[in-house]
């Protein structure tokens, strides 16, 4: 009897795995980077610089793009010193379509395009002026669209041969909204819509999209951000811990090379990705299997996180009210 139950259970799960393997689209793919052209934006600092180092030491031909030429030259020198590889640098602002187009035309066909540039000014929506909101959306979203539009024709035209990839750097704040990230989260969530639609448009050209979701990562950008980040944002963003730029670069490159659509960088990140899987493509039948059986539990854990976060927000609000005598009197008057 026990043997029969065992066989039924094993048979059911094996059948499910085979079914998922058939269902999961697009199918798994491997994207080699050795000897191929990897073009990284924001490659002069933080995560982009770490990506450039690692791509160069994996034997790729690397190009990096950013605005500041002297920072680019510095990065080039550091990468040459560490790896012996000479990267090509392009100075351009991703907000400027013409500048992007001429950099990408000069670079030649790209095998792996990593749109990693990004800006973040954490502030409550009422404290951020429209200039800053538009700047964030322009660099993070419109800039990424400029890059892809400029690179895609040549990537598509290179028919046959090895698969190509477009990596897009989102953030865990592109999977869940976080206090203080109204503009930033809007920009990072936008990249998901872009990535999901684009994957359908380019799959027939053997081009594969990876969307990367890092937690707080030690970079010059984060140091700058932390000078003015609201305390509540610090606490909420801190829920996912922190990583070094090298670790994020390693996860991102591994995810790109495995052709994963969603690339998470730490354990909570994997949980976050399962709980926000939605209708995004899933190439791995094993991951689909895990999602199928754990999404309910992840939703429960997610609700616990929200409970904790709303508690933090309420506590800070109360402290603020207590600190300000005027508000205190006002509250009493209205009670
Ligand atoms: N650090 C973190 O905690 C996290 C970061 N991320 C994301 O990772 C990416 C990289 O972040 P991080 O390494 O911290 O960033 P940094 O601030 O350290 O570096 C940003 C890079 O982008 C370039 N850049 C900025 N604006 C433009 C522009 N308009 N045109 C071209 N290049 C530009 C910068 O060069 P220059 O100024 O010379 O143009 C620089 O090379 C971003 O998309 C960010 O949102 C996601 C999650 C966490
Ligand atoms: C099952 C549920 C699990 C839930 C886990 C939730 C943890 C979410 C934390 C979100 C952190 C956002 C950090 C953004 C970092 C960033 O992009 C800035 N540093 C700007 O660069």
Q: What is the ipTM of this complex?
A: 0.98
- 205 Cα–ligand 1 center, Å: 29
Distances (CA, A) of 144 to 16, 119, 180, 189, 210: 38, 12, 23, 13, 13
* Catalytic option among 44, 170, 187, 240: 170
Q: What is the pLDDT of residues 71-86, one digit of tens each?
A: 999 999 999 999 999 9
CATH architecture observed for domain 25-309: 3-Layer(aba) Sandwich (3.40)
Q: Is residue 206 left, alpha or beta, with left meaning phi > 0 and alpha meaning psi from -120 to 50? A: left
Confidence of residue 196 (pLDDT cuts 50, 70, 90): very high
CA 189/CA 186 separation, integer angstroms: 5
**Torsional sign, CA 267, 253, 292, 278:** positive
pTM of the model: 0.95
CB 285 within 8 A of CB 20: yes
CA 61/CA 47 separation, integer angstroms: 18
CB 34 within 8 A of CB 61: no
* Catalytic option among 184, 210, 251, 264: 184
Q: What is the pLDDT of residues 259-301, one digit of tens each?
A: 999 999 999 999 999 999 999 999 999 999 999 999 999 999 9
Residue ranges covered by each domain of the chain? 25-309
- 214 Cα–ligand 1 center, Å: 12
CA 238/CA 201 separation, integer angstroms: 36
CB of residue 174 inside a 6 A radius of ligand 1: no
State the CB neighbour count (10 A cutoff) for residue 153: 11
* pLDDT value for 333: 46
């Amino acid at each position: 009897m026990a043997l029969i139950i065992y066989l039924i259970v094993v048979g059911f799960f094996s059948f499910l795995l085979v079914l998922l393997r058939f269902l999961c689209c697009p199918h798994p793919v491997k994207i080699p980077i050795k000897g191929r052209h990897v073009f990284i934006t924001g490659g002069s600092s933080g995560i982009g610089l770490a990506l450039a180092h690692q791509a160069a030491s994996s034997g790729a031909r690397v190009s990096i793009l950013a605005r500041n030429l002297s920072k680019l030259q510095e990065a080039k020198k550091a990468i040459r010193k560490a790896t012996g590889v000479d990267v090509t640098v392009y100075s351009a602002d991703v907000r400027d379509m013409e500048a992007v187009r001429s950099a990408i035309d000069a670079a030649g066909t790209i095998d792996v395009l990593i749109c990693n540039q990004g800006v973040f000014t954490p502030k409550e929506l009422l404290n951020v002026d429209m200039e800053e909101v538009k700047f964030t959306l322009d660099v993070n979203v419109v800039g990424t669209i400029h890059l892809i539009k400029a690179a895609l024709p040549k990537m598509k035209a290179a028919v046959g041969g090895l698969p190509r990839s477009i990596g897009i750097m989102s953030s865990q704040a592109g999977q869940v909204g976080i206090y203080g990230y109204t503009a930033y989260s809007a920009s990072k969530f936008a990249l998901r819509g872009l990535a999901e639609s684009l994957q359908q448009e380019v799959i027939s050209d053997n081009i594969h999209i990876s969307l990367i979701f890092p937690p707080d990562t030690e970079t010059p950008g984060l140091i700058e951000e932390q000078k003015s980040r609201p305390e509540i944002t610090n606490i909420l963003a801190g829920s996912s811990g922190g990583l070094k730029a090298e670790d994020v670069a390693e996860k991102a490159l591994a995810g790109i090379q495995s052709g994963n659509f969603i690339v998470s960088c730490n354990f909570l990140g994997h949980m976050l990705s399962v709980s926000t899987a939605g209708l995004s493509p899933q190439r791995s039948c094993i991951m689909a299997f895990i999602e199928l059986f754990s999404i309910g539990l992840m939703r429960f854990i997610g609700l616990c996180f929200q409970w904790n976060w709303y508690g933090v927000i309420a506590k800070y609000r109360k402290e603020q009210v207590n600190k300000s005598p005027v508000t205190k009197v006002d509250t009493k008057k209205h009670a």
